């Protein structure tokens, strides 16, 4: 059996996963809003009819892709935080894990920014908003733990610190997208977090 034949006879769950992978890969190469179901099917060496047996519409594909991103990104940063020795170390681990995730899946930020810019309310856009809210809540908890542990400035505003954390990552990602190269984000991220840490840490 050839690889193409195997691809055409994947179980439903695997087919959905392969479709999401194809969408994210295409999003790294072109404007996500320009990606058509025909392009997705072509990249997978399928017909559109075969694709629509698993997804009723392009919006359904996008919703599934955003769900995949939310689940995998949140799981990645949570795993990084769980193995850290302290709240501040957990924040740094989350920061770096997020950057590595983006470096591995360059199409993800392009899709997220694209969804948030859409005027209409879609299931995919709501998924992104929910992910950002859950991410912010996790950061808020860690920041409060850091204050209680004496690592962070006791006067620190958790909401503002969480916003700055996410904004710093978004800034690094945006610069990488403009440069067309996400490979150097890890080195830049270390310096960016060092500045962030000095701003939130308790004075010696």
* pTM score, whole prediction: 0.87
Residue 10's pLDDT is 57
Query: Across the strands, what pairs with 151?
Result: none
The predicted-structure confidence for 61-79, as pLDDT tens digits, reads as follows: 999 999 999 999 999 999 9
Pick 201 or 33 by higher pLDDT. 201
Residue 1's pLDDT is 38
**pLDDT-derived band of residue 116, with 50, 70 and 90 as boundaries?**
confident
With a pLDDT cut of 90, the percent of the chain lying above it is 59
Locate 61 and state its tokens.
């594909």
Q: Which burial class, exposed, middle or buried, applies to 3 when counting CB atoms under 10 A from its CB (0-12, 13-18, 19+)?
A: exposed
The winner for highest mean pLDDT among 25-34, 39-48, 50-59, 158-167 is 158-167
| CA separation for the pair 39, 42 (Å, rounded) | 5
Name residues whose C-beta falls within 8 Å of residue 132's C-beta, 6 or more positions apart in sequence: 166
pLDDT of 8 over the 70 cut: no
Q: Give the chain's mean pLDDT.
A: 89
Extended strands (E) in 73-135: none
Q: Tokens 């950002």, residue? A: 132
- CATH numbers and ranges of domains, the chain: 58-200 (1.10.357.10)
A 10 A CB-CB count for 125 gives 20
| CA separation for the pair 119, 131 (Å, rounded) | 18
The predicted-structure confidence for 42-60, as pLDDT tens digits, reads as follows: 998 888 888 888 898 888 9
| CA separation for the pair 182, 106 (Å, rounded) | 7
**182 DSSP assignment:** -
Q: What are phi and psi of 152, to 5 degrees?
A: -110, 155
């Amino acid at each position: 059996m050839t690889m193409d034949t195997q691809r055409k006879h994947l179980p439903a769950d695997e087919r959905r996963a392969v479709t999401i992978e194809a969408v994210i890969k295409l999003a790294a190469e072109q404007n996500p809003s320009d990606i058509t179901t025909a392009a997705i099917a072509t990249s997978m060496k399928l017909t559109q009819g075969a694709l629509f047996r698993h997804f009723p519409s392009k919006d359904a594909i996008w919703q599934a892709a955003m769900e995949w991103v939310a689940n995998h990104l949140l799981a990645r940063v949570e795993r990084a935080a769980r193995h850290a020795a302290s709240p501040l170390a957990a924040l740094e681990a989350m920061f770096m894990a997020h950057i590595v995730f983006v470096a591995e899946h360059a199409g993800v930020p392009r899709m997220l920014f694209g969804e948030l810019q859409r005027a209409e309310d879609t299931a995919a856009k709501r998924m992104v908003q929910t992910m950002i809210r859950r991410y912010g809540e996790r950061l808020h908890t860690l920041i409060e733990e850091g204050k209680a542990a004496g690592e962070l400035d006791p006067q620190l505003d958790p909401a503002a610190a969480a916003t700055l954390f996410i904004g710093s990552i978004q800034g690094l990602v945006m610069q990488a997208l403009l440069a067309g190269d996400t490979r150097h984000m890890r080195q830049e991220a270390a310096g960016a977090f060092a500045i962030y840490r000095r701003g939130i840490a308790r004075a010696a």
